Amino acid sequence: MTGDDESVRGPLWRAYRRARPKSRVDLLKDYSILGFLLALFVVLAATSNAFLTAQNLNNVLDQSVAVGLLACAGGMVIMGGGFDLSAGAIYVLSAVLAAKVANATNAEMGIAAGILAGMALGGVNAVICTIGRINAFVGTLATSIFFSGAAVAITGGGFTYIDDPNFGKLSSKLLGISVPIIIFALFALACMFLLNKTIFGRHLLAVGDNKEAAALSGVSVQMTLARAYVLSGIGSGLAGVVVASRSLAVGSTAGGGNSVLFAALAAILVGGVSMLGGEGAIWRILAGVLILAFVTNGFNLNGVDPLYQQMMSGALILLAVSADVWIRAAKANS
Amino acid sequence: MTEANPSLAPIVETVKITKNYGAVRALRDVSISIGAGTVHALVGENGAGKSTIGKIIGGATDASAGRLLVDGAEVRFTRPRDALAVGIAIVHQELALLPSRSVIDNVFLGIETRKRCVVASGEQRRTFAELAQRWSFDIDPDTIVGRMSTGDQQKVEILRALARDARLIVMDEPTARLTAPETERFHEIVRALRAQGKTIILVSHFLGEVLELADTVTVMRDGEVIRTSAASAETPDSLVRAMLGADLDPNFIPATERRPGEPPILQVRGLSGPRFQDVSLSVHPGEVVGIAGMVGSGRSELLRTIFGRERATGGEVLLDGRPFARTRRPRHALARGVAMLPESRKDEGLLLKRSVGENIVLPHLKMVSRRGILSAKRAERLARDMIERLAIKCPGTGAGVNALSGGNQQKVVLAKCLLDKPRVLLLDEPTRGVDVGAKRAIYDLIREFARAGGAIVLVSSELEEVLGLADSVLVMRRGQLTAALSREQATEERVLAAAFGTSRAGQG
């Protein structure tokens, strides 16, 4: 390829290359996902007057918080070569526990309990999938079913209403931005920091890329993966309390949890994270979350049947994944 | 080239076959004629090309140039199925069976007897019984293959070839993983196959076995045929002489920096594992201990056990005279200054999706971080230093490691080992698949390391490498040390004899 002389590019480009020195495949991936997000944004802004309003954008983001939290944390697990199918169930169960504890004590204790519950349930996955040597899909599918059952058992199947209105403060607004969005942004930043700036992040990508090479380099494969599962649990717990705070009512059905889980997986895939582990970026997952959220929003604003939204989401995943595969194949042949 | 059995029409002939793997030439103008109904052995050192020609005949890979004739007619195999269609089957070194399926499922995999769409299991059982009886294999068709011994698994693989009416079976190192009684039984099977008119191509490291079983022997070296002759005209010594390569590269002056009187840094006492037994060795500062032996002789497992990646079943490892924890893991070894360069850089050495810099600093992240938070600058500086020191050719620390040449990738793995100034280096095939320039550079680094007082254990299949670099040479065969030779005693003949288990194995 010509025109690759670094000196003819601007300083911004050089800074970018220094920060993310990577192959053309990755660059193309970055460009294509950003380009798609931008194009989508422009098209929606042009076709709907309601789209580009603070109110609407705040709503879109607010509604993506649960999916986004699960996507960031779940993406980290996948980058480490694991998989967490129980994130949706943990999200439901920790919301239920948060509600119960809040009703027994107060809102603050309830919120803390929800997050801690997510962390502990993530710990259960960690033990099963590392020390227990159970395959990640099998192990977390089993815990997913177990946790969902536990949520129904605790509530008796119906809704649990949170009595303390203070719990609802978690979904109030701060400077015009809803607090859940701020929580999500902080969590995403924390994930970025962990992935890019810490030993844990390097170890996680190493384990996801090549377990044997990682172990021979002195990495504790199991401890690294275990931390990722706990992180995923924390993300789900956060999502649980945030959503509970909106309506102050918590449902206990597995369906709600699983639809959030699948939306998160969709965002991870659209964000170009390899299901094989070893690569991926939080910002691309965020782009994936936004793309899917904008598509839904655009369809709503233009009055399209929700059925088509699902079909569109499915098509987008296929498009993102196959673009990745084809770019790599073309690159390998050249 | 002399024809051993001119009376027999050849079943397979290779005519000037050449095979290139990238820039590496694995075979050059190989012409071999396999007589129908004979046992034809291919011998040579590791990397001589004998397995490659076996794979080409069996359709597992295709030739870059040259012709392959079956029954006098030219054929082109692009996959094993093509070879099977004309009656040629391969029994691989690493057995290719479905471990969780039964014997009968494995034998008939892909050629199931069917009635419409349903497997006719009754009929299949009868066929199996006939086959087993004809070749007198007493195997229960319902046993799960993964629970069988290696010897029995091999029988299953042979049965699989026979069930496909194979006329010619290529056997690649069939006895490398067998116990002595299993080997004996295997030999009987080969004789029975030959008696019933089957042709066998036997790729083997074991010269005694070759001379016992084969009618014809072809000796290969560096991808070329040295000679083909009747087995009765050969002795183990004549074969070893024919297999020996060119004279030693005069540049390979040994380090011999060993300082007398200093206590050993690394001592291994009576170490045992699943694939090696009772190995003892000691390495002094500035000393290079070479371990020669065939692939599969337990050398890599020995290194991995010393490094803590595999658990020892007995014996101990001492560092500076102090015992090394039995429960050590690689990170403990690294913390005490023991580094290992693993056998396969792609499977065990590198993160192929990550950058050169990330790979180099991976084992040393503590050095470039505070409380778990990395300093990108320090990591970058360390990686750049290593890239410079080892003259790794790459666009920068951020370059993807998968884009590098084999030699430069190997240097990256070596850089991982050398970064934290270890005292003991365990090197497993340090120059496998690298070009000549990188080879020289790696040898220089090894020598420099020894000169600075480091201790090295060097495992290599390249005899010249071991003899050129090592101050003392140990030879492993089937999990045991069969010879310990000083620099002066270590000649190619002696080492090969000990590795192949021929009469002149040195003990001392």
Task: Please state, rounded to an integer, the average pLDDT across all residues of chain B.
Answer: 86
Q: Do B369 and A216 touch (CB under 8 A)?
A: no
Q: What is the pLDDT of residues B6-62, one digit of tens each?
A: 456 889 999 999 988 766 678 899 999 999 999 999 998 777 888 889 989 988 888
H or E element, residue A284: helix A282-301
Q: Do A22 and B398 touch (CB under 8 A)?
A: yes
Tell me which of B129-133, B150-154, B310-314, B451-455 is least confident: B150-154
Assess whether pLDDT exceeds 60 at residue B196. yes
Q: Helix, strand, coil: what percent of chain B each, to 5?
A: 35, 25, 40
In the stretch 220-239 of chain A, residues with CB closer than 8 A to chain B read 220
Is residue A284 domain-resident?
yes
Task: Report the alpha-carbon distance of residue B134 to residue B431 in Å, rounded.
Answer: 48
Percent of chain B with pLDDT over 70: 93
CB < 8 Å to B349, chain A: 213, 216
Task: Report the alpha-carbon distance of residue A22 to residue B230 in Å, rounded.
Answer: 58
Contacts of B221 (CB under 8 A, 6+ apart): B44, B45, B48, B242, B243, B244, B245
Question: Which of B345, B348, B417 to substitute to test the interface with A, most A CBs within 10 Å?
Answer: B348
Q: What is the pLDDT of residues A46-55, one digit of tens each?
A: 988 889 898 9
Residue ranges matching CATH 3.40.50.300 in chain B: 10-243, 251-337+422-508
**A173-195 burial, b if ≥16 CB within 10 A, otherwise e?**
eeeeebbbbebbeebbebbbebb
Q: Do B340 and A216 touch (CB under 8 A)?
A: yes
Q: What is the pLDDT of residues B240-257, one digit of tens each?
A: 888 875 544 444 445 455
The first and second tokens of residue A190, run together, are 């924390």
pLDDT band at A158 (very low <50, low <70, confident <90, very high): confident
Beta strands B168-172 and B88-91 are parallel
Q: What is the pLDDT of residues B207-242, one digit of tens each?
A: 888 999 999 999 998 888 999 999 999 888 888 888
CATH H-level, domain B10-243: superfamily: P-loop containing nucleotide triphosphate hydrolases (3.40.50.300)
Q: Do A206 and B362 touch (CB under 8 A)?
A: yes
Task: Report the alpha-carbon distance of residue B413 to residue B391 in Å, rounded.
Answer: 13
pLDDT of residue B1: 40
Yes or no: say if B477 and B483 are a contact pair by the CB < 8 Å rule: no
Dihedral sign (CA B386, B389, B391, B395) = positive
Q: What is the pLDDT of residues B400-413, one digit of tens each?
A: 898 888 889 999 99
**B450-460 burial, b if ≥16 CB within 10 A, otherwise e?**
beeebbbbbbb
Yes or no: say if A229 and A200 are a contact pair by the CB < 8 Å rule: no
Q: Least CA distance to B342: which residue of chain A?
A: A216
Yes or no: say if B95 and B157 are a contact pair by the CB < 8 Å rule: yes
Assess whether pLDDT exceeds 80 at residue A1. no
pLDDT band at B260 (very low <50, low <70, confident <90, very high): low
Q: Do B353 and A209 touch (CB under 8 A)?
A: yes
Dihedral sign (CA A155, A160, A166, A170) = positive
In the stretch 32-61 of chain A, residues with CB closer than 8 A to chain B read none
Assess whether pLDDT exceeds 70 at residue A43. yes
DSSP B76: -
Task: Report the alpha-carbon distance of residue B382 to residue B375 in Å, rounded.
Answer: 11
pLDDT of residue B498: 87
Q: Do A21 and B373 touch (CB under 8 A)?
A: no
Q: Does A214 touch chain B (CB under 8 A)?
A: yes
Is residue A329 domain-resident?
no
Task: Report the alpha-carbon distance of residue B136 to residue B127 in Å, rounded.
Answer: 14
Q: Do B352 and A209 touch (CB under 8 A)?
A: yes
Tell me which of A11-20, A35-44, A160-169, B101-110 is least confident: A11-20
pLDDT band at A13 (very low <50, low <70, confident <90, very high): low
Assess whether pLDDT exceeds 70 at residue A8. no
Task: Report the alpha-carbon distance of residue B173 to residue B202 in Å, rounded.
Answer: 7
ipTM field? 0.84
Higher-pLDDT residue of B45 and A78 is A78
CB < 8 Å to B362, chain A: 202, 206, 214, 217, 219
Assess whether pLDDT exceeds 60 at residue B354. yes
H or E element, residue B322: strand B322-323
Yes or no: say if B489 and B194 are a contact pair by the CB < 8 Å rule: no
Mean pLDDT of B128-138: 85
DSSP B78: S
Task: Please state, rounded to an integer, the average pLDDT across all residues of chain A.
Answer: 88
- What CATH number corresponds to the domain at position A66? 1.10.3470
Assess whether pLDDT exceeds 90 at residue A334. no
Assess whether pLDDT exceeds 80 at residue A6. no
Dihedral sign (CA B145, B151, B155, B161) = positive
pLDDT of residue B411: 95
CATH numeric code, B251-337+422-508:
3.40.50.300
Assess whether pLDDT exceeds 50 at residue B318. yes
As to burial, measured by CB atoms within 10 angstroms (0-12 exposed, 13-18 middle, 19+ buried), residue A109 is middle
Question: Which of A209, A216, A275 to substitute to test the interface with B, most B CBs within 10 Å?
Answer: A216
Strand order in the sheet with B88-91: B88-91, B168-172, B199-203, B39-43, B216-221, B224-230
d(CA A113, nearest CA chain B) in Å: 27
User: Which residues of B fall below an 8 Å CB-CB distance to A?
Assistant: 307, 309, 329-331, 334-335, 340, 342, 347-355, 358, 362-363, 365-366, 369, 372-374, 376, 396-400, 403, 416
How far from each other are the two terminal CA atoms of chain B, in whole angstroms?
Answer: 39
H or E element, residue B90: strand B88-91
Beta strands B199-203 and B216-221 are unpaired
Is residue A19 domain-resident?
no
Q: What is the pLDDT of residues A288-297, one digit of tens each?
A: 999 999 988 9
Q: Do B362 and A210 touch (CB under 8 A)?
A: no
Is residue A70 domain-resident?
yes
Task: Report the alpha-carbon distance of residue A260 to residue A292 in Å, rounded.
Answer: 12
Assess whether pLDDT exceeds 60 at residue B124. yes
pLDDT of residue B5: 47
User: Which of B347, B351, B362 shows the shortest C-beta gap to A278?
Assistant: B351
Q: Do A218 and B351 touch (CB under 8 A)?
A: no
CB < 8 Å to A206, chain B: 351, 354, 358, 362
Is residue A328 domain-resident?
no
Task: Report the alpha-carbon distance of residue A148 to residue A142 in Å, rounded.
Answer: 10
Distance of CA B354 to the CA centre of its chain: 27
CB < 8 Å to A216, chain B: 307, 309, 330, 340, 342, 348-349
Domain that holds residue A190: 54-322
d(CA A60, nearest CA chain B) in Å: 34
Beta strands B424-428 and B455-459 are parallel
Residue type, A139: G
Q: What is the pLDDT of residues B454-506, one digit of tens each?
A: 999 999 988 888 988 899 999 998 899 999 998 888 888 888 888 887 644 33
Mean pLDDT of B287-310: 91
Assess whether pLDDT exceeds 90 at residue B416. yes
Q: Least CA distance to B396: which residue of chain A?
A: A21
Q: How many domains does chain A have?
A: 1
Mean pLDDT of B306-314: 94
R_g of chain A, CA atoms, integer Å: 21
Chains A–B, number of C-beta pairs less than 8 Å apart: 91
Q: What is the pLDDT of residues B143-180, one digit of tens each?
A: 898 888 878 888 888 888 888 889 999 998 888 777 77
pLDDT of residue A190: 97
pLDDT band at B120 (very low <50, low <70, confident <90, very high): confident
E runs forming strands in B154-230: 168-172, 199-203, 216-221, 224-230
Assess whether pLDDT exceeds 60 at residue A14. no
Task: Report the alpha-carbon distance of residue B507 to residue B439 in Å, rounded.
Answer: 31
Q: Do A216 and B307 touch (CB under 8 A)?
A: yes
Q: What is the pLDDT of residues B423-455, one digit of tens each?
A: 999 999 998 877 777 888 899 899 899 988 999
Residue type, B394: C
Distance of CA A236 to the CA centre of its chain: 9
At residue B316, φ and ψ (nearest 5 deg) are: -145, 160
pLDDT band at A254 (very low <50, low <70, confident <90, very high): low
d(CA A101, nearest CA chain B) in Å: 34
